[in-house]
């Protein structure tokens, strides 16, 4: 009898310790980014923003937060594999990423099936969240920036005609091309040319569009090929044509590749500390400088920061890491982030009404304007 009483007492005393051990288990945030491959520069910049946010807020619900990075390798097939690994093997509670819309589209079914909420960073294609109640994003969409760029070209730059040189193998680029064309007016697009990711020679495309004498050339693509195209256009003697691009251009590699040829280009982006200083951005920038030195080289770093903060705030509001509960908390979430007010519509898309316009001047990105769509 004494042995039974002793055993019962041990079991009773052990229960709080078991509960404490469970509560001390880390909350796992999966980092779904291209850390190698053609999109690695973008993935690394976003990951830095996530790391800054993690350094500032390393726990929630009294539990430490563990970052679990999985490389989607800049490849759609690998992205689907990486997503499965995050939810099945790593058993993460929530996911952040990715740079590259097609990678997110490939990963989406895994996150939805596992009921694991995912918060996209700079994945701007509408298909990322469409029909997937578990995918959210903190960036604006391609329909927004494509329309804004077209209106900016007409209103601010006085462009009456435009040509398009588009990466036909890139989902992001095709979507952006379609929205720009619709807003600018198909009748005002005097020429179009196409290429594939990885192409190196563009003289045929450049000559074809320049023969039509456009006021501007819009180039929806990532960053490598636009850098090459602008350099080759200048080498061919087209020194005065103005090139326009989307948010992916804010990657230092475009300057490294294109050199002086990319000077004066214009592109949309999400954030500029000098344009919109705030208390939150001051905290972000100070911690970034402490960890990495200098200022972030792209606004997608700020999106990584905001995505992490959204994840933490949703878990805190839900009071649990249960997927459906966190998903519901994200739907109701509103807070002031580094890139502005963060809230999500019925599709899980960020509610935005403005974009930053930047250029390249003396080998560095420079703020030009903030454009608002009412």
| pLDDT tens by residue, 150-183 | 999 999 999 999 999 999 999 999 999 999 999 9
Q: Is the pLDDT of residue 365 over 70?
A: yes
Quote the percentage of the chain above a pLDDT of 90: 85
* pLDDT per residue as tens digits for the range 223-249: 999 999 999 999 999 999 999 999 999
3-state secondary structure string, the chain? CHHHHHHHHHHHHHHHHHHHHHHCCCEEEEEEECCCCCCHHHHHHHHHHHHHHHHHCCEECCEEEEEEEEECCCCHHHHHHHHHHHHHHCCCCEEECCCCHHHHHHHHHHHHHCCCCEEECCCCCHHHCCCCCCEEECCCCHHHHHHHHHHHHHHCCCCCCEEEEEECCCHHHHHHHHHHHHHHCHHHEEEEEEECCCCCCCHHHHHHHHCCCCCEEECCCCCHHHHHHHHHHHHCCCCCCEEEECHHHCCHHHHHHHHHHHCCCEEEECCCCCCCCCHHHHHHHHHHHHHHCCCCCCCHHHHHHHHHHHHHHHHHHHCCCCHHHHHHHHHHCEEEECCEEEEECCCCCECCCEEEEEEEECCEEEEEEEEECC
Q: Is the pLDDT of residue 371 over 90?
A: no
The two three-digit tokens of residue 227, written as one number: 């850098």
End-to-end Cα, the chain, rounded Å: 78
Q: Domain 23-140+278-353, what fold?
A: Rossmann fold (3.40.50)
pTM of structure: 0.82
**Phi and psi (nearest 5°) for 235?**
-65, -30
| pLDDT score of 297 | 86
Q: Is the pLDDT of residue 299 over 80?
A: yes
Provide mean pLDDT across the span 252-277: 91
* Window from 13-17, 56-60, 286-290, 342-346 with minimum mean pLDDT: 13-17
What band does 352 get if pLDDT is binned at 50, 70 and 90? Answer: confident
Provide mean pLDDT across the span 134-146: 94
Q: Is the pLDDT of residue 16 over 70?
A: no
| pLDDT score of 22 | 46
Q: Where in the chain is the domain with CATH 3.40.50.2300?
A: 23-140+278-353, 143-269
* pLDDT per residue as tens digits for the range 301-328: 999 999 999 999 999 999 999 999 999 9
| pLDDT score of 11 | 42
Q: Which own/partner pairs from 331-338 qualify as long-range (CB within 8 Å, at least 24 positions apart)? A: 335/309, 335/310, 336/278, 336/280, 337/138, 337/280, 337/302, 337/305, 337/306, 337/309, 337/310, 338/271, 338/278, 338/280, 338/281, 338/284, 338/302, 338/305, 338/306
Distance, CA of 42 to CA of 30 (rounded, Å)? 17
| pLDDT score of 69 | 98
What mean pLDDT, rounded, does the chain reach? 92
CA 184 to chain centre: 25
| pLDDT score of 23 | 58
* Domain boundaries 143-269, corresponding CATH code: 3.40.50.2300
Q: Is the pLDDT of residue 331 over 70?
A: yes
Which residue, 290, 284, 250, is CA-closest to 49?
Answer: 284
């Amino acid at each position: 009898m004494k042995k039974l009483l002793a055993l019962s007492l041990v079991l009773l005393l052990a229960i709080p310790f078991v509960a404490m051990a469970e509560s001390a288990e880390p909350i796992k945030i999966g980092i779904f980014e291209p850390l190698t491959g053609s999109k690695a520069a973008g993935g690394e910049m976003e990951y830095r923003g996530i790391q800054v946010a993690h350094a500032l807020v390393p726990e929630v619900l009294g539990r430490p937060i563990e970052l679990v990075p999985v490389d989607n390798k800049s490849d759609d097939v690998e992205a689907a594999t990486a997503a499965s690994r995050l939810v099945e093997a790593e058993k993460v509670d929530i996911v952040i990423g990715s740079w590259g819309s097609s990678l997110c589209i490939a990963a989406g079914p895994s996150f939805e099936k596992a009921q694991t909420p995912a918060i996209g960073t700079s994945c701007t294609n509408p298909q990322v969240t469409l029909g997937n109640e578990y995918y959210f994003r903190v960036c604006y969409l391609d329909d927004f920036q494509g329309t804004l760029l077209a209106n900016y070209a007409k209103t601010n730059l006085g462009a009456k005609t435009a040509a398009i040189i588009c990466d036909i193998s890139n989902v992001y680029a095709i979507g952006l091309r379609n929205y720009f064309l619709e807003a600018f007016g198909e009748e005002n697009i005097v020429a179009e040319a196409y290429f594939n990711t990885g192409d190196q020679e563009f003289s045929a495309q450049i000559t074809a569009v320049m023969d039509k004498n456009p006021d501007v050339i819009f180039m929806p693509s990532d960053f490598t090929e636009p850098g090459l195209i602008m350099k080759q256009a200048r080498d061919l003697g087209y020194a005065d044509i103005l090139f326009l691009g989307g948010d992916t251009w804010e990657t230092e590699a475009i300057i490294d590749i294109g050199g002086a040829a990319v000077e004066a280009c214009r592109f949309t982006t999400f954030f500029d500390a000098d344009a919109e200083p705030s208390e939150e951005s001051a905290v972000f920038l100070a911690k970034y400088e402490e960890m990495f030195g200098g200022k972030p080289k792209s606004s997608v770093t700020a999106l990584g920061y905001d995505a992490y903060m959204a994840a933490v705030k949703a878990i805190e509001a839900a009071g649990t890491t249960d997927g459906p509960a966190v998903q519901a908390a994200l739907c109701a979430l509103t807070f002031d982030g580094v890139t502005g007010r963060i809230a999500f519509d019925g599709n899980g898309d960020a509610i935005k009404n403005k974009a930053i316009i930047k250029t390249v001047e003396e080998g560095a990105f420079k703020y030009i304007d903030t454009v608002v769509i009412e």
